[in-house]
Amino acid sequence: MMSSDFYTAEEAMKVLGKPRSTFFKEVGNGKIPSILEPGKKRGRRFPKEAIDLHAKLEKKHKAPKTKFSFTQATNSDLWIAVENARKTYGDDDYIPYSRWLEWRDINDQMTMTMKENDINMGYSTIIPIGDKTVINDLLHDHIREKNIPIETIKKWTDRHLLAYIAGTTIVSSGDKEKDTKRGQYLLAHTIKWAIKLYHQYDIKSFYAVGATEEGRRILEHLGFTEIISLHNGERKGYVLDSIKKTTKLTQMFIAEAERE
Residues 130 and 242 in one domain: yes
Residues 84 and 140 in one domain: yes
Tell me the sheet residues that pair with 237: 209, 228
Q: Where is mean pLDDT largest: 20-24, 61-65, 84-88, 246-250?
A: 20-24
Predicted confidence band at 260 (pLDDT cuts at 50, 70, 90)?
A: very low
Single out the residue in 62, 87, 108 at which a domain terminates: 62
Average pLDDT, the chain: 88
| 238: Cβ contacts below 8 Å, ≥ 6 apart | 207, 208, 209, 210, 219, 220, 224, 225, 226, 227
Tell me the sheet residues that pair with 226: 238
Residues 42 and 94 in one domain: no
Q: What is the pLDDT of residues 195-232, one digit of tens each?
A: 899 989 999 999 999 999 999 998 998 889 999 999 99
Single out the residue in 23, 45, 62 at which a domain terminates: 62
d(CA 165, CA 112): 12
Residues 143 and 44 in one domain: no
Asked if pLDDT for residue 247 goes beyond 80, the answer is no
Residues 198 and 239 in one domain: yes
Task: Determine if the pTM surpasses 0.85.
Answer: no
Instruction: Give phi and psi for 85, each to the nearest 5.
Output: -65, -40
d(CA 211, CA 109): 24
Residues 178 and 113 in one domain: yes
Residues 53 and 160 in one domain: no
The mean pLDDT of 34-41, rounded to a whole number, is 85
Q: How many other C-beta atoms are found inside a 10 Å radius of the C-beta of residue 219?
A: 22
Residues 40 and 81 in one domain: no
Residues 255 and 150 in one domain: yes
Q: What is the CATH number of the domain that holds 121?
A: 3.40.630.30
Cα dihedral 46, 48, 52, 53, rounded to 10, equals: -80
HEC secondary structure over 194-210: HHHHHHHCCEEEEEEEE
Single out the residue in 62, 84, 111 at which a domain terminates: 62
Cα-Cα-Cα-Cα dihedral sign, residues 92, 136, 239, 216: negative
Q: What's the domain count of the chain?
A: 2
Residues 55 and 79 in one domain: no
The mean pLDDT of 152-156, rounded to a whole number, is 97
Residues 189 and 203 in one domain: yes
How much is the pLDDT for 40?
A: 83
Domain that holds residue 255: 68-259
Predicted confidence band at 150 (pLDDT cuts at 50, 70, 90)?
A: very high
Residues 13 and 118 in one domain: no
How much is the pLDDT for 93?
A: 75
Q: What is the pLDDT of residues 47-73, one digit of tens each?
A: 999 999 999 888 777 766 778 999 999
